[in-house]
Structures are given as C-alpha cells and as structure tokens.
Amino acid sequence: MIVRFEDRPAEFDPSAIDLLLDTELKADDALTAAGAGRIDGNDVGAYEYELYFVGDDADVMWKILEPVFADAPVPWTQVELHRGRDDPSPRVLTPKEPA
C-alpha cells in the first residue's frame, strides 16, 4: 500500500515531512497493534511524499489507517491498494470532495 501526499504544481514542501512524523508513527502503531501490517519506508520526490506499508490485506490495512490519516496535518491525496508487491493494477483511492 502506498499513501501519497502531493503538492502540485509547486514542489513538495519538505517541512511537511516533519509535520507527518507523528502521523507515520501512529499509523505504524495502529497496524502493528492490529497485527495487520507495518510501515515499510518512505520516498520524497520534488512534488510528492510517499509512505509505504506492507501487510497481508490492503483493504484491512486501509480501514485501520484511514482514520489515522484523516487527522494528519497534511492531507493525503492518493492511496494505492496493492494485492502483493507486483500488482500491475492497484485500486486507487482519492479523498472525497466535500458536498
């Protein structure tokens, strides 16, 4: 699973990474406590920040992580739910627009 934070068209603000540290730790703690997975790393690009999570069931993992990221100081922009590492067509989620 990949949780993506994008800041387009401007370059990603690196200070956002520091703001997200507590959220990353909470996400890892929630997955670990549920026995559903763990954080597997991150990646910083010019226009985005990505968090990688591994576990047996991406749907279960997102049910656990969604409330954690709903309270994040930086809004997530996309989530990829992969069925294994080599999934060529992950399910892609985007935040719901307010009504």
The pLDDT tens digits for 60-84 are: 999 999 999 999 998 999 999 998 8
Structural domain contains residue 98: no
Structural domain contains residue 54: yes
**pLDDT confidence bin for 12, thresholds 50/70/90:** confident
Q: Among positive and negative, which fits the CA dihedral 45, 50, 54, 57?
A: negative
Taking the CA atoms of the chain, what radius of gyration do you get in angstroms? 13
**Residue reference for tokens 């892609």:** 92
Q: In CATH, what number is assigned to the domain containing residue 71?
A: 3.30.70
Domain span at residue 80 reads: 2-93
33 contact partners, CB below 8 Å, separation of at least 6? none
Residue 79: strand, helix, or coil: strand
- Name the domain count of the chain: 1
Distance between CA atoms of residues 81 and 60, nearest Å: 10
The pLDDT tens digits for 20-60 are: 999 999 999 999 999 999 999 999 887 888 999 999 999 99
Structural domain contains residue 18: yes
Structural domain contains residue 69: yes
